[in-house]
Amino acid sequence: MGGGQTNSHKKNEKYVFHILTENLTQTTQEKFQALAKSLDNTYPCEILIYPISDKEFQNCPKLHGKYTAYLRLKAASILPKNIAQCLYLDVDLFALSDLRDIFAIALGDNLLAAVGDFNTNKSLSPILSTQPYNFNPNAEYFNSGVMLLNLQQWRKEQLETKIFQFLSTYQVQYHDQDTINAVAKNRILKLNPKWNLGFLYQFALENGLNINFNGGDVYLPYTLECFKEAMQSPVILHYHGNRIAKPWESVYTKIDPQMNGYLPLTHTSYQKWWAIAQNTPIFNKELMRLQQDLKESALQDYTKSLNDALKMRDTFFTQKIQALEMALQNLIKP
């Protein structure tokens, strides 16, 4: 979902949200239209919905059993041609301040602007090619959860065609993200991390855990000072990764001993998210029912997660002890 703008961007233009979807029910679509009318009373707003068939992605590997990750790749061909650029937003984001300033960033002939993620030196196995695709370990790698897309340039250079050719040629690991980084390399403008602040990285810094900046085998392409400054005034917080719960998920289902011992990993931003959810028109009642369900299942979720974490710990130490015993036996053999 993202807000689009036309070539004649003006301050008094309304927010336009474009939802690219595989299977929104008619009831949910009607609720979104009711939401748009309600928000329009506060600030001009429009919500447009674009159903996209699964058949568009039959040659792509699924993520969590779905093709949802690839919907963003169709923005240039699906959105009206008078939209020169748009802001793509993942669903697991929390906007903390006005997003309109991002449209003042000059893209030039860059294909998009995004926030840097940890660099990668991985290799993608070939499907149709005779050779694997190797990412340059020294090149910057970008997160695709927030992207200012230069739709005009995408259409001009037929980037969508190149993207899906890449997807049919190599076995991607991070689906759309690997593809965008490979096809649009050297044409991605690096944004300040405040535009897509990874919650996991923020939590790690706040709790004294190590993150490499601008150096090392795996690093974020920012200075520590830049990242800390972004943490003081983030525009968008991103709850990405499998090690943390989304605000609408139970924090008791994610136990990570390395991150937070055997306690649930939570944050003040979760409470802020739920405060906004409580006041969201049209959807607030079902969101509050979800919150109540999470509270009622908390003890059961925590018991299961804690049990799984302890089993993993025991397995780890058992393997270490067995390896040590074998090493000692080898040493004392006559």
| For the chain, counts of helices (H) and of strands (E) | 11, 12
* Residue 133 to residues 125, 141, 187, Cα–Cα distance (Å): 7, 15, 18
Asked whether the predicted pLDDT for residue 77 surpasses 70, the reply is: yes
Give the C-alpha separation, 256 to 207, whole Å.
14
Task: Write the pLDDT tens digit of every residue in 182-229.
Answer: 999 999 999 999 999 998 888 888 887 788 888 777 888 999 999 999
pLDDT, residue 8, reads 43
Residue 226 lies in a domain: yes
Residue 81 φ/ψ region, left for φ over 0, alpha for ψ in the -120 to 50 degree band, beta for the rest: alpha
Residue 85 lies in a domain: yes
Residue 320: which residues within 8 A CB-CB, separation 6 or more?
none
pTM of structure: 0.88
Domain count, the chain: 1
Strand segments, DSSP code E, in 118-230 are 123-124, 133-134, 141-149, 188-190, 197-198
Alpha helices in 66-174 (DSSP H): 75-78, 151-156, 159-169
Note the pLDDT of residue 10.
56
Lowest mean pLDDT among 11-15, 129-133, 148-152, 163-167: 11-15
Is 9 inside a domain boundary?
Answer: yes
Asked whether residue 273 is assigned to any structural domain, the reply reads: no
55 assigned to some structural domain: yes
In a domain, 274, yes or no: no
Residue 292 belongs to some domain of the structure: no
Q: Which residues are paired to 146 by β-bridges?
A: 89
Residue 212 is part of a domain; what is its CATH number?
Answer: 3.90.550.10
Q: Would residue 267 count as lying in a domain?
A: no
Provide the 8-state DSSP code for 11: T
Q: Which domain holds residue 49?
A: 2-241
Range in 33-47, 52-66, 106-120, 135-149 the model is least confident about: 52-66
**Sorting pLDDT into bands at 50, 70 and 90, what band is 256?**
confident
CA 268 to chain CA centroid, Å, is 20
